[in-house]
Structure formats: structure tokens, C-alpha cells
Amino acid sequence: MPAVSFEHIVKRYGAVTVLDDLNLAIEDGDFLVLLGPSGCGKTTLLNLLAGLLEVSDGRITIGDRDVTELDPKDRGLAMVFQSYALYPTKTVRGNLKFGLAASKLPSEEVERRIAWVAKMLQIEPLLDRKPAQLSGGQRQRVAIGRAIIKKVDVFLFDEPLSNLDAKLRTEMRLEIKKLHDELKSTVVYVTHDQIEAMTMATKIAVMDGGVIQQFGTPDEVYEHPANLFVAGFIGAPAMNMRSATLAVKAGKVEAVFKSGARLDVSDYPFQAPARDGLAVVIGMRPEHFTIGEAASGGTAQFTLPVLSAERTGSDATLYLTFEDEMLALRVAPDLAAGLRVGSTVPVQFQAGKANLFDAQTGRRI
């Protein structure tokens, strides 16, 4: 399966520029997720790759082929749509077979591929049913089957799970990831759901305003977000953000919060020497806090009032008030149940887990 490359891509609608000088390289066999909020340009980029939209400027290559001007049918792609796009008058077998209509394969090969896809997706008992007789999850399996039966170079998915309930989304995430592992194919997958991105992707391109804000592995974009947008978009509950000022003295670097509380960030991997007085934003993940007295060094300690708690069975989120704003902590459910609103609790934050951003530019420092 070839690599995919977007080179200096521009997409305009009249005077409106949706994508401007976008560059992205997808390696052979990658499962790339285009992740971002509605209107960020991710579906536009996918449709440019599919040939459903024309590129205003730049070029798209698949392997060593420039496909920028090719018709969709000549690009060696298969696409799974959000709406399934199944033919209601055809059976499951007929829908799968239709995907091979233009291939002129021998009938024996067509039947062999149908049997292969049906077994892989566990839809063998459904082959003689029509879409109206199928559940949402079954329809999505058929839509995926119609794509993989072509055995093409690159598979495209446009928010394929958004119409499914939570349980089915979990099941289909596992099925799609399993298919990728088995087929070793190149996948480009569009979603606004960060859980899908974090659990399925080998690489994530986080987009906003038609710009790729960060490109990297799921761990990279989660642990080391490139800017405030990525930091706030990735994670549930979202990363806590607090304004602070750097104080540099005798080789020690501290982030001083508005309340006067201090966080020792001397060991933070600054990209440039820390400047005294620099206005920063401190990013703190909810899971990097602990409740109770500190047992070791390397932590910042606060005593904060309880605002509320949310329990979700195996997990819980505790909301505290810090500098007149809400601070989210991930805690054990039994701990959350034992705290009452208005009481105060000692809280520690692991200084080594802090993320620092320039308050003016929003970029990681």
C-alpha cells in the first residue's frame, strides 16, 4: 500500500480559503486520523483525496502517482461514508457485488471475495437481507465490506460511527482496528471524536481553522500538545489551564499563579531558556493530581474547596475551586463519594507532568 502526500494544498470557495498551503505525509500502512471540531477542514481534505472536490492549488500523490487531476475511480481508493450509502433495493450480497461492478472480475473471483469479506465481518447470515432488515451496526459492517472487497491501496472513512449508539461505536472501533491490523492497509479516517482517534490511530493530525495544529502519535499529542488548542481539545475531562508568570532566580524556575501559589518547573524541558517575568499558561491533566498529604517531593500543594463531583461507575471527576475557577481532578469513585460540597481537601499536582505554553502565542514553550 503506497504512502499518501498532500503538498501545498489550497482549497478555495470563491473568496473564502478553507485550506491554505497544507502539507501532510501519510506513511505506508499508517492509520491516520484527521481530528478536529466541525468546520475545521478535515472532511474537505478527505474529499480532496477522494476526488470528490477539486484542488484549487497544490498536488496529491499516492505512492509515485500524482492523482490530483484523476477521477475518483482511477485513484485506487475506497470510501466508507457516514450515511452508509447502501442501495436499499439490493441485498447485502448485491451491495457487496456492486462494489466490484467496474472491475470486470471473473464471477468465481467475485464470489470468493464476497465470502472472504462476509466471514471477516461476520455478516455471512445477512447476505440475503436488504438494508431495511439490518441494524445500524450491521449496515455499517456492510458499508465497510463494500469498501474492503475492492482490495484497493487506501481506505477512507468519513465519520463512519457517528450514527451508532455508544456500545456499537465501541464494538465497531475494535472491528475497524482489527481490519487494519489484518489488511496492513493505509487508512485515512475523519472524526471529531477524540476517543476514536486515541484508540484507533497510529498517527493523528489535529486540525483547526483549516490548519494542522499538530501531527504525531496519540501519545505525543496527548502528553506533549503543541499549543493551547490541542491541549484543550484532547482529553476528557479537558486539561486544566491556569495563567502564571515565570520567576527565574539562581537557576530555579517557578511558575507563580495569580493567587501566589508556586509550581517548581526547573526540570521542565524548555525549548528556549526560561525568561523571568514571561506570562505563561500552565496545563494540568486531571489524572495528574492526587488527594491527601504529599508523600514525596516534586509536587505542588494546594488546599481547595470542593465544588461538585460526578461519578460514572468505574471513574469519577472531582471539581474544586482554584483561583475562582473550576479545577477538574480524576479520582476513585469511593473517594468522590466521601467528600461533601464546601469542604476543603489537600491536593497535590505532579510538577513533572506540567505543560507550559506562551500566554501570547499559545505555543508550547
Domain end call among 233, 265, 292: 233
Does residue 164 sit in the same domain as residue 251? no
Does residue 161 sit in the same domain as residue 263? no
Is 2 exposed, middle or buried (CB count within 10 Å of its CB: 0-12, 13-18, 19+)? middle
Does residue 105 sit in the same domain as residue 158? yes
Q: Residue range 234-259: average pLDDT? A: 94
Does residue 161 sit in the same domain as residue 305? no
Task: Decide if 365 is inside a domain.
Answer: no
Domain end call among 182, 202, 233: 233
Does residue 123 sit in the same domain as residue 70? yes
Domain end call among 183, 216, 233: 233
Whole-angstrom distance between the N-terminal and C-terminal Cα of the chain?
37
Does residue 132 sit in the same domain as residue 244? no
CB 142 within 8 A of CB 149: no
In tens, the pLDDT along 162-187 reads 878 888 888 889 888 988 998 888 99
Does residue 158 sit in the same domain as residue 304? no
**Domains in the chain: how many in total?**
2
Domain with 282 in it: 240-358
Instruction: Look at residue 53 and tell me whether its pLDDT is greater than 80.
Output: yes
In tens, the pLDDT along 80-102 reads 988 888 999 999 999 999 878 77
Instruction: Look at residue 141 and tell me whether its pLDDT is greater than 90.
Output: no
Dmax over CA atoms of the chain, in Å, equals 79
Q: What is the 3-state secondary structure (H, E, C) of 69-82?
A: CCCHHHCCEEEECC
Instruction: Look at residue 28 and tell me whether its pLDDT is greater than 90.
Output: yes
Q: Residue range 230-253: average pLDDT? A: 95
CB 354 within 8 A of CB 296: no
What proportion of the chain, given as a percentage, has pLDDT over 70?
A: 98
96 CB-side CA count, 13 A: 31
Q: How many CB atoms lie within 10 A of CB 342?
A: 8
For the domain that residue 59 is a member of, what is the CATH number? 3.40.50.300
Residue with cell 500552565: 282
Task: Decide if 31 is inside a domain.
Answer: yes
Does residue 147 sit in the same domain as residue 86? yes
Query: Which residues touch 166 (CB under 8 Å, ≥6 apart)?
Result: none
Does residue 93 sit in the same domain as residue 167? yes
Measured distance CA(328)–CA(319) in Å, rounded? 5
The structure's pTM equals 0.89
In tens, the pLDDT along 276-321 reads 999 999 999 999 999 886 555 567 888 999 999 998 888 899 999 9
Does residue 134 sit in the same domain as residue 83? yes
What are the b/e assignments for 90-118, b being 16+ CB within 10 Å? ebbbebbbebbeeeeeeeeebeebbeebb
- Report residue 214's pLDDT band, with 50, 70 and 90 as the boundaries: very high
